[in-house]
Amino acid sequence: MTDSRDPDALIRRAGRPDPSFDQHFLVDDRVLDRIPTFAESFDRSHVLEVGAGTGALTDRLLDAADRVTAVERDEGYAAFLREEFADEIAAGDLEIVEGDVLDVDLPDFTCSVSNLPYGVSSETTFRLLPLGKPMVLMYQLEFAERMAAEAGTSEYGRLSVAAQHYADVEVVETVPREAFDPQPRVQSALVRVTPREPDYEVGDEAFFLDFVKALFTQRRKTVRNAIRNTAHISGLSDADAVVAAVDEDVLRQRPGNLDPSAFAALANVALGVEGGDGG
């Protein structure tokens, strides 16, 4: 590895981040150096970085990847990156994309390694997950734990089911507040996301995800009552008919105790009933 750019010096040259704009930049060299190692098993020929900021992680990724595309929505920081990394851009090793990751056209990347802006971490994750690319992403610790949670735990919810529908999710490192400037109010965590096909089938993925969302709005109710109470969210035209088609042992459970495959089975039953009724 070549000598890495000093993260504090980058901030001094680029200008102070603004926490009101969701800007919390990693300044701990040890954490920055470790992040690319969590993606060593991934194809790093073209790495996507979301929220490049002043480029401290970008610098490390350039040492680990063949090519990096860095997305940065802040106009000032995007301009700084183009100046700071002019040589790497000229060599074709780096491209800076200025704009919001939720709106810009994404390249055909092979993996993503990013310190995500926390305010849009959920929306960003669910733009990236369906693309089926491996990722190492930084989140608020609570969000990370919810992504990786198992059925039956207090952290398990809609986010857990949806994320694990697309990939294996693993919290690989907890990162303290002190590793950032300015410091966020909470701890953070690095999550490794390894895409894989689910071991179940869903008849309609959009309906499946809406159905999971609906039932978790009633997580303390039984599945029977959750189905009946959320037809306006899931779009069911005859919730009672769906309930009648589901096994009693499933109806007695609560949504938080159903694993993703059980949710898929439920959603498929609901689709079958609705289809049979012309709904």
Q: What is the pLDDT of residue 9?
A: 97
What phi and psi, each to the nearest 5 degrees, are found at residue 180? -115, 155
Decide if pLDDT at 1 tops 70.
no
What phi and psi, each to the nearest 5 degrees, are found at residue 49? -115, 125
Average pLDDT value for residue range 200-209 = 95
Residue-wise pLDDT tens digits, 91-110: 999 999 999 999 999 999 99
Q: What is the pLDDT of residue 207?
A: 95
H or E stretch at 3: none
Contact indicator for 52, 76 with CB cutoff of 8 Å: no
Decide if pLDDT at 278 tops 90.
no
Largest CA distance in the chain: 66
Q: What is the pLDDT of residue 95?
A: 98
Higher pLDDT pick, 23 / 270: 270
Q: How far apart (Å, rounded) are the C-alpha atoms in residues 241 and 53?
A: 52
Alpha helix stretches (DSSP H) within 196-255: 205-216, 223-229, 231-234, 239-244, 248-251
Q: What is the pLDDT of residue 254?
A: 98
Average pLDDT value for residue range 63-74 = 97
If DSSP states are collapsed to H, E and C, what string results for 162-176?
HHHHHEEEEEEEEEC
Average pLDDT value for residue range 57-71 = 98
Alpha-carbon 111 to chain mean position: 13
Contact indicator for 170, 150 with CB cutoff of 8 Å: no
Question: % helix / strand / coil in the chain, to the nearest 5?
Answer: 50, 15, 35
What percent of the chain lies above the pLDDT cut of 90? Answer: 93
Average pLDDT value for residue range 113-135 = 96
Sequence ranges of the binding site: 24, 26, 51, 72, 100, 115
Q: What is the pLDDT of residue 276?
A: 61
Decide if pLDDT at 2 tops 70.
no
Residue-wise pLDDT tens digits, 223-242: 999 999 999 999 999 999 99
Average pLDDT value for residue range 130-159 = 97
Q: 205-276 has which fold?
A: Helicase, Ruva Protein; domain 3 (1.10.8)
Q: What is the pLDDT of residue 275?
A: 81
Q: How far apart (Å, rounded) are the C-alpha atoms in residues 23 and 16?
A: 9
Helices (H) and strands (E) in the chain, counts: 14, 9
- Both structure tokens of 122: 């959920």
Average pLDDT value for residue range 197-213 = 96
pTM to 2 decimals?
0.93
H or E stretch at 70: strand 68-72
Query: Considering only the top CATH level, what class is 7-195?
Result: alpha beta
- Both structure tokens of 93: 């090793």
Sequence ranges of the binding site for S-adenosyl-L-methionine: 24, 26, 51, 72, 100, 115
Mean confidence (pLDDT) of the chain:
95
Sign of the torsion angle spanned by Cα atoms 13, 17, 23, 27:
positive
Q: How far apart (Å, rounded) are the C-alpha atoms in residues 76 and 164?
A: 36
Q: What is the pLDDT of residue 279?
A: 40
Decide if pLDDT at 197 tops 70.
yes
Q: Which residues pair with 113 in a beta bridge?
A: 136
Residue-wise pLDDT tens digits, 9-40: 999 999 998 877 788 999 999 999 999 999 99
- Both structure tokens of 52: 């490049």
Q: How far apart (Å, rounded) are the C-alpha atoms in residues 21 and 6?
A: 23
Q: What is the pLDDT of residue 13?
A: 97
Domain spans in the chain, listed from the N-terminal domain onward: 7-195, 205-276
Residue identified by tokens 């470790």 is 34
